[in-house]
A and B are shown apart, each in its own frame.
Chain A
C-alpha cells in the first residue's frame, strides 16, 4: 500500500502507473474477448471504414473492427511481454543468486555464458532464435526471455555478492539457517528493489521487441492480432486509411511510455541517490 502511495505521489509514477493500469485492463478485456466486435469477424460491406460510432477506430482491409483488434493486439503483446519478462526474471534471478552464492567455477561458467549472450544485439539474438525454432507467439516469448536473462543475471549477481558479504548473512549462517532460507529470505528479499525497477523497464523493452518482431512477420502470426502486425498491415494503406497506422502506433508509444515513466518513478522511489539528477 505504501509503495502504491509512493508511486502515485510521484509525478512520473502517477502518469506511468495510470497508463499501465488502463493498459492492463484493456489487455485483459482483449485477451478474454470482451471487445466491441469479434476481432476476427469480417464485415465485408464496411471494409476500410473510417472511425465512426459503430467502429470507433474504423475497419481494416478485411472489414475487421480496428478497435477490437487493437484491444486483442494489446492483450497479445502484453501476454508476450509479461511471460517473457517473468521467464527472464526467474532465470536471471536463479542464475545470478547461485552465481553469487557458489562463486568459483559456477560463477565463472554462468557469467561467461551471459557474456556470450550479451555479445549479440538484442534483436539479432531474437532473430537467430526465431530462425532456428520458427516464428510464432511462444517463440517470441522464449526469444525475448533468453535475450533479457543476462541483464537480470547481472542485476541480481552484483548486489547479491555485496549482500552475501554482510554481517547479517554471516549471522544467519552461524545460527544454522539453511542455504535455501538465506538465499530466499535474506538475499532475494534485499534484491526486490533493483529487480522491481528492472522488471518495469524490461516490460517496456519487451513490448518494443515483440512489436518489432511481429512487424517483421516473425512474431505473432495472422489472423491473430498484435500491435506490430497491425502496423505492418497498415504500410500499404496508410494514405487512404491512416487510422490503421495512427491507432496502433499511438498504442505502442503510450504503452512503452507508461512502463518507462513507472520504471523511472520506481528508480527514484527505491534509490533516493538518483533523485537529485534524475533525467
Chain B
C-alpha cells in the first residue's frame, strides 16, 4: 500500500484514538459532571435530584454508551456545554479560534521573513564570521522559551521607551485592521522567535547541501551570476525541509500559543484551554483539546501530502 493511502487510512483511526483518550482522561477526573457544575452544593442534592441530573448529563449509562453518544454528538458539532460560560463549547471555541489562527499565521510570516534570508546568508558565507554570528543567534533563539522572549520584550519596551503593549479589549482583524495588527505584532514576534531560529538553522543546512550538488556547480561553471545561482537554482530545492518544518511548526503554533496568549492577555484558544483547566470546566477542556488535536492532525496530514508532492523521489511507504 502506498504511503499516501496508508496515511489517509490511519488518519480517522488515530483521530478516533485521540477522541477515546480525551473522553477517558476527562472521566478520570475525581467527581462527576454534577460535582463539577455544583461544587460542594452537590452534597445537598436529594437522591432523586441527583438521579435526574445524572440522567440529564447521561452519566447514568454505561461508559461505552456514554462514549458512543458523546462521539455522535461530536460528529454533529456538539462538544458539550461549558459550565462556566453557559454556552455550547463549540460556539466559544469558534469565537476564540480566529485569533489563534491569525497569531499562528503571523508568527509563521515573521519566522519565514527572518529565518529564510538569514539561513541563505549564512550558507553562502559558510564558516566565515558572519555565518558564525547567524549560527550563534539561531542557537540562542532556539534555546529561548517564547514566554521568556515575551517577558523580555515587554520589559525592554517599558524600561527603554516607557510603553507597554496594549492589553485591554482585543480588536478583531475585520473590525479595525490597523488596531488589530498593532495588538498582534508583538505576540507574533514572540511566538515566531524560536521558529525563526529553527528556519534559519534548517534553511542554512539545506542550502549547504544543495550548494554542493553537481547541478549548482554546473550552473556556476556556465557563468550564471551568483545571485541567480543562489535564489533561482539552489533555493527552490533547499525549500523542501523548510516547508516540512513550517507545516509541523504551524501545527504546534496552533496548539502551543497558550503561553504567549497568556502573557499578552489575548483571548485565544490556548488561553481558553488554560482558563477551562483552572476553572475545572471539563466539557470545555474536552472540546478544546479535541478541536486543537484535530487541527494539529489535519495540518500534519497536509504537510505529509505536501512533502510527497514537492519531492516525487520520496516514496516513504516503500522504504518503511
Contacts and interface: CB of A to CB of B under 8 A. Distances in A.
- Do the two chains belong together in a single complex? yes
Interface of A: 112-113, 115-117, 119-124, 127-132, 204, 208, 211-212, 215-218, 231, 234-235, 238-239, 242, 245, 249, 252-254, 256-257, 260-261, 276-279
B178 interface: no
Given A113-B17, A119-B18, A256-B144, A279 B255 contact: no
B148 A252 contact: yes
Nearest to B19: A116
B147 A127 contact: no
A208 B29 contact: no
A115 B154 CA distance: 38
Contact of A128 (B17, B22, B202, B204): B22
B181 interface: no
9 contacts: A112-B13, A116-B21, A117-B21, A119-B17, A124-B289, A238-B154, A238-B155, A239-B158, A279-B204
Given A208-B145, A278-B205, A119 B273 contact: no
Contacts of A235: 151, 263
A130 B280 CA distance: 11
A245 B151 contact: yes
A155 B296 CA distance: 21
Nearest to B203: A279
Top 7 closest A-B pairs, CB basis? Answer: A121-B255, A116-B17, A279-B201, A257-B143, A256-B143, A279-B205, A131-B277
A147 B286 CA distance: 18
A128 B116 CA distance: 34
Contacts of B28: 132
Contact of B158 (A121, A127, A218, A238): A238
Interface stretch (B62-70, B89-97, B132-140, B184-192): B132-140
Given A239-B158, A249-B151, A215 B259 contact: yes
B283 to A, nearest CB: 12
Contacts of B202: 279
A208 B144 CA distance: 8
A120 B17 contact: no
Nearest to A278: B205
Chain B residues touching A, majority SS: helix
B136 to A, nearest CB: 10
A132 B155 contact: no
B148 A128 contact: no
B73 to A, nearest CB: 19
Interface in B120-169: 135, 138-140, 142-145, 147-148, 151-152, 154-155, 158-159
Interface residues of B, number: 56
Given A124-B258, A208-B145, 8 more contacts: A120-B296, A124-B293, A212-B259, A239-B155, A239-B158, A252-B148, A254-B143, A260-B143
Nearest to A204: B143
B152 A245 contact: yes
Nearest to A209: B145
B230 interface: no
Contact of B26 (A132, A253, A254): A132
Contacts of A122: 252, 256
A132 B258 CA distance: 18
A212 to B, nearest CB: 5
Instruction: Indicate the member of A116, A231, A239, A279 with the most B CB atoms within 10 Å.
Output: A279
Contact of B145 (A128, A132, A252, A278): A252
Contacts of A112: 10, 13-14, 17
A277 B205 contact: yes
Nearest to A130: B277
B15 to A, nearest CB: 7
Contacts of B255: 120-121, 123-124
Nearest to B158: A239
Interface string B283-294: 001000100110
Nearest to B28: A132
Interface string B95-124: 000000000000000000000000000000
B268 interface: no
B29 A131 contact: yes
A233 B200 CA distance: 33
Given A127-B277, A128-B25, A216-B262, A121 B256 contact: yes
B101 to A, nearest CB: 14
Contacts of B201: 279
Nearest to B288: A124
A246 B118 CA distance: 27
B21 A115 contact: no
A222 B208 CA distance: 48
A242 B152 CA distance: 10
B173 interface: no
B251 interface: yes
A116 B294 CA distance: 11
